[in-house]
């Protein structure tokens, strides 16, 4: 158990190290003087000198990396070229909005996917099963930004029920917040729902054919009890893993969803940063996103190695 923990932590730290290397070199792959890249086009000589001193750009490359990484670990991701606001501060300000949007999206996805996945597993090869399968394939195939545009066309342009864009804080106007978030959350949740639907269906089918389910039936338990109390508990374990692995998809989706609905979150930040060639901001955002992915999946792995005794043993042979 402890060995699994240590092994998993070790693997994750290697991953984080590689991520930091990639992000560090990425900025240096941009043609031109890195000090100029970091300081922006309009920086003067003294500005460049300051940047060089700050990031030690006159030092050998490995010294530069160590300095950069040491600063990053302490939360210093440099500052934006445009606004001169520390990158970490901007990230902390935008991240909650995207987390909130993702939370709503996960909720939407689970509400749609889990019941319909269970339902189609129980009525395998029925019309309902095909319908759910068709829905899930459509959810995978529909470009979410087009779905967003269609929703805006219907609910904002045609019917005028929902605001097409913008963001209102949950704590200031809870209802307004919901009105603004319902379309983005649905758009972001669709792809996830499609994946979860399939996963729930497949894993429920597998679980329902297990011996212990047959035992439960032969004890004379009602189908309802067997499904809800016996099958669901194990059937949903892979679904939780998928949720962790889908974090990246969710982040990618947030980029485009926030763009369509003009939500001032993390995803919009990165697009803006790319267009304004705000390299430190791009670098910071990418570093934070990739690290978050590693940490969340580490937590998912560790938490159910605690919950499920079988994974505890098998985890040692996993490839991480």
In DSSP terms, 100 is beta-bridged to none
Let me know the angle formed at the C-alpha of 186 by 232 and 298, rounded to the nearest 5 degrees: 55
| 104/293 with CB nearer other proteins | 293
Sign of the four-CA dihedral 71, 76, 77, 80: negative
φ, ψ for residue 110, nearest 5 deg: -70, -40
CB-side neighbour CA atoms (13 Å) of 104: 20
Cα 52 to Cα 235: distance, rounded to the nearest angstrom: 55
CB of 182 to other proteins, least distance (A): 18
Size of the site for other proteins (CB under 8 A): 48
Enumerate residues 6-45 that contact other proteins by CB under 8 A.
11, 14-15, 18-19, 22, 26, 29-30
**CB under 8 A: which stretch of 213-221, 235-243, 288-296, 305-313 binds other proteins?**
288-296
Site membership for other proteins, residue 298 (CB under 8 A): no
Q: Which of 249, 257, 240 is nearest to 303 (CA)?
A: 240
Site membership for other proteins, residue 152 (CB under 8 A): yes
Site membership for other proteins, residue 103 (CB under 8 A): no
Site membership for other proteins, residue 271 (CB under 8 A): yes
φ, ψ for residue 237, nearest 5 deg: -60, -50
| 33/58 with CB nearer other proteins | 33
φ, ψ for residue 17, nearest 5 deg: -60, -45
DSSP state of 75: T
Farthest CA pair distance, the chain: 83
CB of 225 to other proteins, least distance (A): 32
Site membership for other proteins, residue 171 (CB under 8 A): no
φ, ψ for residue 203, nearest 5 deg: -75, -30
CB of 146 to other proteins, least distance (A): 3
| Per-residue x/- track, 229-268, other proteins (CB under 8 A) | ------------------xxx-xxx-xx--xx--------
| Per-residue x/- track, 205-234, other proteins (CB under 8 A) | ------------------------------
Q: Which of 104, 77, 106 is nearest to 92 (CA)?
A: 77
Contact present, 74 and 67 (Cβ < 8 Å): no
| 226/270 with CB nearer other proteins | 270
Euclidean distance between the first and the last CA atom of the chain, given in angstroms as a whole number: 15
| 9/30 with CB nearer other proteins | 30
Please give the residue ranges that form the binding site for other proteins (CB under 8 A).
11, 14-15, 18-19, 22, 26, 29-30, 137-138, 140-143, 145-146, 149-150, 152-153, 157, 247-249, 251-253, 255-256, 259-260, 270-271, 274-275, 277, 279, 282, 285-286, 289-291, 293-294, 319-320
């Amino acid at each position: 158990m402890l060995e699994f923990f240590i092994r998993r932590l070790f693997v994750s730290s290697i991953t984080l190290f590689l991520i930091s290397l990639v992000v560090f070199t990425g900025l240096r792959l941009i043609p031109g003087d890195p000090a100029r890249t970091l300081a922006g086009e309009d920086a003067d000589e003294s500005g460049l000198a300051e940047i060089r001193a700050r990031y030690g750009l006159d030092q050998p490359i490995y010294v530069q990396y160590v300095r950069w990484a040491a600063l990053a670990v302490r939360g210093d991701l440099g500052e934006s070229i445009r606004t001169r606001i520390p990158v970490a501060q901007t990230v902390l300000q935008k991240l909650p909005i995207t987390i909130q949007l993702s939370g709503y999206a996960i909720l939407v996805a689970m509400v749609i996917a889990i019941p319909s996945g269970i339902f189609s597993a129980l009525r395998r090869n029925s019309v309902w099963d095909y319908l759910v399968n068709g829905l899930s394939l459509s959810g995978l195939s529909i470009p979410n930004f087009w779905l967003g545009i269609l929703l805006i066309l219907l609910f904002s342009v045609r019917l005028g029920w929902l605001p097409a864009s913008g963001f209102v804080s949950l704590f200031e106007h809870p209802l307004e917040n919901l009105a603004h978030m319902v379309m983005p959350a649905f758009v972001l949740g669709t792809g996830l729902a499609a994946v979860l639907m399939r996963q729930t269906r497949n894993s429920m089918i597998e679980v329902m054919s297990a011996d212990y389910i047959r035992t439960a039936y032969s004890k004379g338990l009602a189908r309802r009890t067997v499904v809800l109390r016996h099958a669901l508990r194990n059937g949903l374990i892979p679904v939780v893993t998928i949720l962790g692995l889908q974090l990246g998809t969710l982040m990618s989706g947030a980029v485009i969803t926030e763009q369509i609905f003009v939500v001032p979150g993390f995803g919009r930040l990165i697009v803006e940063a790319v267009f304004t060639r705000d390299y430190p901001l791009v670098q910071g955002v990418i570093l934070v996103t990739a690290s978050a992915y590693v940490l969340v999946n580490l937590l998912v792995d560790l938490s159910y190695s605690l919950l499920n005794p079988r994974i505890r043993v098998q985890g040692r042979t996993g490839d991480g």
